């Protein structure tokens, strides 16, 4: 039987779930975020999302950052991130949404979204692994494959950055929606996109979403942000998610130090990711800009 949460996720393309972080975990994660954000802004952590670049490779052309990549990396020395990523309350929701068991869960990405310091900006409307110029038929074919992974944002502070078009994970864009999503230009008003809604998360709330839903985001330099941004896969999807995940560069995850810091459950999830990586070969990049 399909759970109510899964049914709502299938219909909307997203669901908001509270309470996946305890008060103690929230304090621990906020402190860990403060440390890795400071390292990134001081130029001591090179794996970051740079202002002026929306998608990987992010490069290093701008000193300002809107994200921190690879927060589970052992060189950061912050075990709280891996503990939470492999925690039971979180994986229980993922299993409902992907309709799978612990034995199917595949470790993917865990990054951090932060506020830039220099100026506010927006990311353009997009689907994570479908190009902006894809034809209606190409789009329809891609959307039919995107059922083996889920992405989420967990807010550690109030977060109103994300905009989505509910239900757009199932159908190609309309002519009017294409006008708002075929260029490299970010929106001046995200709500001008037909069907768009703004999602507001309170501290501790998580929005799980199909990353091929039409979505964009705004980044305010005046509003503090530390939002845990991650995804997880179902190994039954094979290589369907390889490009979207591996384009971020995950060779460090093969190291002994990272592996030794994981629980047995985490090690099994990692093994499934490495198996996908070894089969996929050169995956390239999903999007430009």
Q: In what order do the strands lie in the sheet with 226-234?
A: 14-17, 206-209, 149-155, 226-234, 105-114, 65-68, 48-50
Identify the pLDDT of residue 244.
64
For residues 13 and 243, the model is more confident at 13
User: pLDDT tens across 109-124, in order?
Assistant: 999 999 999 889 999 9
Closest CA to 112 of 90, 89, 80: 80
Identify the pLDDT of residue 250.
76
Tell me: pLDDT of 177 over 90. yes
Return all residues near 164 (Cβ < 8 A) that are at least 6 apart: 13, 14, 196, 197, 199, 209, 213, 214, 215
Domain holding 144: CATH number? 2.60.120.620
Residue 288 lies in a domain: no
Identify the pLDDT of residue 65.
94
Residue 62 lies in a domain: yes
Residue 287 lies in a domain: no
Q: How far apart are CA 163 and CA 196, in angstroms?
A: 6
Identify the pLDDT of residue 286.
45
Tokens 């305010």 correspond to: 220
To the nearest whole percent, how much of the chain has pLDDT over 90? 74
Identify the pLDDT of residue 63.
83
Identify the pLDDT of residue 1.
63
User: pLDDT tens across 123-157, in order?
Assistant: 999 998 898 999 999 999 889 876 789 999 999 99
Q: How far apart are CA 281 and CA 6, in angstroms?
A: 33
Identify the pLDDT of residue 285.
46
If you average pLDDT over every residue of the chain, what do you get? 91
For residues 261 and 55, the model is more confident at 261
Residue 289 lies in a domain: no
Residue 285 lies in a domain: no
Residue 210 lies in a domain: yes
Contact 12, 167 (CB under 8 A): yes
Number of C-beta neighbours around residue 48 at 10 A: 27
Q: How far apart are CA 43 and CA 60, in angstroms?
A: 10
Residue 173 lies in a domain: yes
Identify the pLDDT of residue 142.
86
Identify the pLDDT of residue 55.
66
Q: Which domain holds residue 39?
A: 4-280
Q: How many alpha carbons fall within 13 Å on the CB side of residue 9?
A: 26
Tell me: pLDDT of 158 over 90. yes
Record the tokens describing residue 244, joined without a space.
């979207």
Q: How far apart are CA 66 and CA 50, in angstroms?
A: 6
Q: How many alpha carbons fall within 13 Å on the CB side of residue 244?
A: 27
Identify the pLDDT of residue 86.
96
Identify the pLDDT of residue 232.
94
Identify the pLDDT of residue 27.
97
Question: The pTM is what?
Answer: 0.92
* pLDDT band at residue 201 under the 50/70/90 scheme: very high
**Number of domains, the chain:** 1
User: pLDDT tens across 5-59, in order?
Assistant: 999 999 999 999 999 999 999 999 999 999 999 999 999 999 999 887 776 666 7
């Amino acid at each position: 039987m399909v759970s109510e949460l899964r049914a709502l996720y299938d219909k909307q393309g997203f669901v908001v779930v509270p309470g996946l972080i305890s008060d103690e975990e929230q304090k621990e994660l906020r402190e860990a975020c403060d440390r890795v954000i400071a390292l990134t802004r001081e130029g001591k952590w090179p794996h970051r999302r740079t202002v002026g670049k929306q998608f990987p490779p992010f490069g290093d052309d701008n000193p300002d950052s809107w994200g921190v990549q690879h927060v589970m990396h052992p060189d950061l020395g912050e075990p709280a991130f891996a503990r939470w990523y492999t925690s039971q309350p979180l994986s229980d929701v993922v299993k409902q949404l992907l309709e799978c068991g612990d034995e199917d869960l595949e470790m993917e990405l865990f990054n951090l979204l932060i506020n830039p310091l220099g100026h506010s900006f927006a990311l353009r409307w997009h689907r994570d692994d479908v190009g902006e110029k894809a034809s209606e038929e190409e789009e329809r074919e891609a959307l039919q494959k995107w059922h083996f992974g889920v992405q989420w944002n967990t807010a550690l502070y109030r977060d109103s950055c994300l905009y989505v078009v509910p239900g757009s994970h199932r159908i190609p864009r309309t002519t009017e929606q294409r006008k708002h999503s075929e260029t490299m230009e970010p929106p001046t008003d995200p709500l001008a996109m037909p069907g768009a809604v703004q999602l507001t998360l309170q501290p501790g709330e998580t929005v799980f979403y199909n990353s091929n839903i039409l979505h964009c985001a705004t980044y305010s330099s005046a509003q503090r942000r530390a939002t845990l941004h991650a995804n997880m896969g179902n190994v039954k999807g094979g290589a369907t998610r390889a490009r979207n995940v591996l384009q971020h560069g995950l060779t460090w995850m093969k190291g002994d130090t990272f592996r030794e810091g994981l629980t047995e459950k985490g090690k099994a999830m990692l093994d499934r990711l490495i198996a996908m990586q070894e089969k996929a070969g050169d995956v390239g990049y999903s999007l430009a800009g």
